Amino acid sequence: MPWSKFDIEMMARAIKLAKRGQYTTRPNPSVGCVLTVNETVVGEGFHIAAGGPHAEVHALAMAGERAVGATAYVTLEPCSHYGRTPPCAEALINAKVARVVVAVTDPNPQVSGRGIEMLQQAGIKVEINLLQADAANINPGFMTRMRSGLPKVTIKLAASIDGKTALSNGVSKWITGPEARRDVQRMRARHCAVITGIETVLADDPSLTVRHAELGGLGQTLTIEQVRQPLRVVLDSQARLPSSAALFNATSPILLVSCLEYTDAQKALWPAHVSHLLLAPQNGRVPLRDLLQHLGKQCNEVMVEAGATLAGAFMAEQLADELVLYQAPKLLGSQGRNLVKLPDYTEMSQLPSMKLLEQRAVGQDNRFIFNLRF
Amino acid sequence: MPWSKFDIEMMARAIKLAKRGQYTTRPNPSVGCVLTVNETVVGEGFHIAAGGPHAEVHALAMAGERAVGATAYVTLEPCSHYGRTPPCAEALINAKVARVVVAVTDPNPQVSGRGIEMLQQAGIKVEINLLQADAANINPGFMTRMRSGLPKVTIKLAASIDGKTALSNGVSKWITGPEARRDVQRMRARHCAVITGIETVLADDPSLTVRHAELGGLGQTLTIEQVRQPLRVVLDSQARLPSSAALFNATSPILLVSCLEYTDAQKALWPAHVSHLLLAPQNGRVPLRDLLQHLGKQCNEVMVEAGATLAGAFMAEQLADELVLYQAPKLLGSQGRNLVKLPDYTEMSQLPSMKLLEQRAVGQDNRFIFNLRF
Residues whose CB is less than 8 angstroms from the CB of residue B361 and which lie 6 or more positions away in sequence, other chains included: B367
Is A280's pLDDT higher than 70? yes
| Nearest alpha-carbon partner for A94 in A63, A128, A55, A68 | A68
Strand residues in chain A grouped as ranges (E): 32-37, 40-46, 71-76, 99-104, 125-128, 152-160, 164-166, 193-197, 231-235, 254-258, 274-278, 301-304, 322-328, 337-338, 355-362, 365-371
Kindly list the residues from chain A whose CB atom is less than 8 angstroms away from the CB atom of residue B362. Answer: none
Strands of the A125-128 sheet, one edge to the other: A40-46, A32-37, A71-76, A99-104, A125-128
Region A93-106: what's the mean pLDDT? Answer: 97
Exposure of B367 in the CB half-sphere (CA atoms within 13 A): 18
Residue A1: band (very low, low, confident or very high) from pLDDT cuts 50, 70, 90: low
Is A229's pLDDT higher than 80? yes
Q: What is the mean pLDDT of chain A?
A: 95
Q: What is the pLDDT of residue A31?
A: 96
The active-site residue, picked from B9, B39, B44, B56, is B56
Residue-wise DSSP of B78-91: PP-S-SSS--HHHH
Active site residues of A: 56
Is A190's pLDDT higher than 90? yes
Q: What is the pLDDT of residue B1?
A: 61
Q: Are A26 and A192 contacting, i.e. CB atoms less than 8 angstroms apart? A: yes
Is A372's pLDDT higher than 80? yes
Is A374's pLDDT higher than 80? no
| Interchain CB distance below 8 Å, A343 and B333 | yes
Q: What is the pLDDT of residue B172?
A: 92
| Interchain CB distance below 8 Å, A331 and B341 | no
| Interchain CB distance below 8 Å, A341 and B333 | yes
Q: What is the pLDDT of residue A167?
A: 97
| Interchain CB distance below 8 Å, B167 and A345 | yes
pTM: 0.91
Please confirm, yes or no, whether B199 is among the known catalytic residues. no
ipTM of the complex: 0.88
- 10-residue averages of pLDDT along chain B (374 residues): 92 97 94 97 95 94 96 96 86 97 92 94 97 96 93 98 96 95 96 97 94 90 90 98 94 97 95 96 96 96 97 96 98 97 96 95 97 90
Interface test with B, best of A326, A330, A332, A353 (most B CBs within 10 A): A332
Kindly list the residues from chain A whose CB atom is less than 8 angstroms away from the CB atom of residue B164. Answer: 163
User: Chain B residues within 8 A (CB-CB) of chain A?
Assistant: 159-164, 167-169, 171, 173-175, 308, 312, 315, 325, 327, 329-336, 338-348, 351-352, 354, 356, 359, 366, 368, 370
Q: Are B212 and B219 contacting, i.e. CB atoms less than 8 angstroms apart? A: yes
